[in-house]
Structure 1
């Protein structure tokens, strides 16, 4: 076995272009499994991973939390058509991610794909930049979800106490309390699959209860189709209705973000090359069904759109509940269901961001990586990485104290950083003309089309999601997302040249070859079959 591995390593060093290696069944029987070396257990099933994936993306819940941005940019029709547009784009994003994770299942996700696909002399830099964007994107997402959750709590209090004057520090304090509460749920590995499944069931049940309650509570008094599908209300101050609509797309885009979350669970599930793609695609499908039906039930039942636009609680959906049911207690209860779903989403956010921090630290991508790259043997989770990332999230939350407008930058930032991190490996995939050894999930020309859509979407997000949400733009209403994007990229480049290029490591070629053998032989090993004479065409990039 050692001789076979040595021959593979030497061959990879001597001949990196069009290398063909005959792999025997004996060498395949000892293929590399990352989970055997990282201390994590394969305790996640399809449903628990779906709980992480959809529990985090949670489209209908995201629409509820950020509806104020969408409804002021065009009214009901903007959100309805926005969901359709973003769901279609997200399907292409999901296909692109699914193809890559099927070919290269790894907890590092997009930064590992970049490492494998990029030219060897550029792999380290682009892998580092990709990992940096992905990790900081997860930090921004965790913060924005936490602030949305805290805003919801304040809104419920204000519903029963109309004289309550909400301050930014109220939201901040509640955010910190809930943040560290959700932190606890991710401290023990044995809990995580159960919590993930509960999160999935909770959000689906909550969606079902609210949707049925809205339709039943309206007592047959519905808005006209013209109001729901045609009437456009531009409250942004933009003279162009098209720009107002585009700016409002941030709402559904945020609600379909974080599609990579399941990829970072690849080392904790059996057959990740099959299960993870199914989870990603299912996340988009369930997200569209739940969010589209949810907003239809809301908008056909709404009574007074002006009251929603002028809502001062920060959670206008609760006003819709109250209008339909004419009962504050019932409205608060339905809001509590949304909050429970969002709380589960926040738990999955922590699962996601700690896995990213830990996996990126394994390659020394973060300062102090030697501490964050360890898996705690008692808890079974990367506890140090979890603590470190959670502290960063708590610190980013202080931005909200300075300006509530900063929340919009957090929302936009999590979209921008994550989409950029998806685009980097896709660019290198297209440079290789998609001529790679793929996994069981591979859609050929449909995959190529999806890759192109993803890259176009990335450019769209970079440009239009940097526009102010309202006009005229002032210091308090300016969109600072572009500043955040430039700052994060600048940090990555500066850190790379100061320290990163000296400490950021890529696994050695023998381990890479072992990983590749694992990818292509996993299914056959599970069936007990042999793969005599398997040709592995390894490009010069590996």
Structure 2
């Protein structure tokens, strides 16, 4: 039964009929500021694949070399796009800004709806927060790398990186809170910068680098400096750059409440932006490999960024290198701002369902600013706190950075598996998305009884491939890269995943078990 009406400036509270759960309905709403193409721009700028791939070059060199990067990227990008299509179909059938949380809740068996959707939400939130930290830290590295180009004697201290890191976070917070109305236009500019940067770096590398590597080096010679004797093991260890360069497919889905006709547009955004990213990144990877001038220099790159060292060695010009580095700075700083946007929408939506403590605050939208200020504040503070690892243990820091892909990919498994089990692994798209349970009805195209974006009979096999691939790469994303394994070379991503699980369990036991109840009809639509 709904509560009595209150003043519009207050938050109306509805007492639901399930237990003692109280749902807080926020009268403020997110505005539909984004179009199909501006949302594509946001998703594309989130991962900026062709440029992001350049940040992994030092890892690639010793872990399989160029062939592992090229062939591993083809395999990984193909599988990633299959996952993307599986999620796009779910986003079309069940459009919601909480994405995995909502999809899982709609599709899971009644007895497991709450716990599975909560688990998916915790993993997703953790993964996106880790991704925010990663993108911001990389941006700070590019800024200080530029300083090193002009001051070779300057050796950045850890606290220097942290100060730049915090400055980027604060700038992103201010833009997302007070200037969100211009964010779509900023994203359009960011995409233009990414495209210019990609063309500039690729063309200039092809023109200026001399001598270039041979086709044998690029496509055949495997370089194994990991200590593992099997090249097969090295091949899968070398997939991380590829996995991290075509990822975060749910980013667009978190913008569901800010785009018209999300059941049509969000799936298109996911498929278009990630497909373009994959194709352009593959071309960029081949060019990077051909244009490596000094292998040794990439092992200890300028400013800690191998792509900066590659440009410095190949361009033989401070001016050209400066232009290239500035492009990377604008790209990764701008990309960090879009990470805060998507992550805050996820936190906001998950909090509305009491998935996190203080959900009545994090789940609000400012009536004046029309943006989730509390969620943005939470993301800013948690990134600033976790970012203090920059000044401490590098092992812990890189474990957190590497855990972004682990947590986010794992969060995709529950909704896809629930769809498979709900439909009893049927190949019929009509069975997969029937509306027998009206409380979790899928949004279907009128007259076709299918989602606007439907995989048809390919849905079931593509879903199975997605789940199997995610489970498979979880092994390698947590696997030690170097052998023999020591405390210094250990891959601690599994430890971070375990800590995330413990945190999630604690939140569930002490708060969410009593309060979490996702409302499938909860939307902020104008």
**Normalising by structure 1, what TM-score?**
0.84
In 2, the alpha carbon distance for the partners of 1:156 and 1:82 equals 31
Q: What secondary structure does 1:164 align onto?
A: coil
- 1:38 positional shift: 5.7
State whether structure 2 residue 207 is matched by structure 1 residue 210. Answer: no
- 1:39 positional shift: 0.3
Distance change (3 Å), C-alpha of 1:160 and 1:189 = closer
- 1:72 positional shift: 2.4
2:271 corresponds to which residue?
Answer: 281
Stretches of structure 1 that go unaligned for 5 or more consecutive residues are 3-12, 14-34, 519-542
Deviations 1:435-462 (A, max 9, x none): 2144111112322222112211221232
In 2, the alpha carbon distance for the partners of 1:157 and 1:350 equals 26
Which structure is richer in relative contact order (CA contacts within 8 A, separation 6 or more)? Answer: 1
- Superposition misfits of 4+ residues, deviation over 6 angstroms: none
1:500 corresponds to which residue?
Answer: 512
- 1:235 positional shift: 2.4
Aligned partner of 1:306 among 281, 287, 296: 296
Is the 2:99–2:254 contact (alpha carbons within 8 Å) kept by the matching residues of 1?
yes
Q: What secondary structure does 1:405 align onto?
A: helix
In 2, the alpha carbon distance for the partners of 1:412 and 1:449 equals 29
- 1:466 positional shift: 0.9
In 2, the alpha carbon distance for the partners of 1:469 and 1:177 equals 33
In 1, the alpha carbon distance for the partners of 2:121 and 2:31 equals 23
Is the 1:70–1:249 contact (alpha carbons within 8 Å) kept by the matching residues of 2?
no
Is the 2:41–2:273 contact (alpha carbons within 8 Å) kept by the matching residues of 1?
no
Deviations 1:31-79 (A, max 9, x none): xxxx996601112101110122111021112112233222321222222
1:349 corresponds to which residue?
Answer: 339
> Greater CA deviation, 314-323 or 301-310?
301-310
Aligned partner of 2:400 among 401, 406, 410: 410
2:497 corresponds to which residue?
Answer: 485
- 1:201 positional shift: 1.9
2:7 corresponds to which residue?
Answer: none
In 2, the alpha carbon distance for the partners of 1:289 and 1:126 equals 34
Q: What secondary structure does 2:341 align onto?
A: helix
In 2, the alpha carbon distance for the partners of 1:409 and 1:501 equals 29
State whether structure 2 residue 458 is matched by structure 1 residue 458. Answer: no
State whether structure 2 residue 76 is matched by structure 1 residue 82. Answer: no
Q: What secondary structure does 1:313 align onto?
A: helix
1:449 corresponds to which residue?
Answer: 461
Is the 1:99–1:277 contact (alpha carbons within 8 Å) kept by the matching residues of 2?
yes
Q: What secondary structure does 1:66 align onto?
A: helix
In 2, the alpha carbon distance for the partners of 1:71 and 1:450 equals 32
Distance change (3 Å), C-alpha of 1:111 and 1:323 = same
Distance change (3 Å), C-alpha of 1:160 and 1:244 = farther
In 2, the alpha carbon distance for the partners of 1:457 and 1:285 equals 18
Alignment of 1:30-41 (within 5 A): 39-41=29-31
State whether structure 2 residue 255 is matched by structure 1 residue 265. Answer: yes
Alignment of 1:177-188 (within 5 A): 177-187=167-177, 188=179
**Normalising by structure 2, what TM-score?**
0.87
In 2, the alpha carbon distance for the partners of 1:36 and 1:195 equals 28
Is the 2:97–2:256 contact (alpha carbons within 8 Å) kept by the matching residues of 1?
yes
Is the 1:419–1:458 contact (alpha carbons within 8 Å) kept by the matching residues of 2?
yes
Q: What secondary structure does 1:281 align onto?
A: helix
Stretches of structure 2 that go unaligned for 5 or more consecutive residues are 3-16, 18-24, 427-431, 435-449
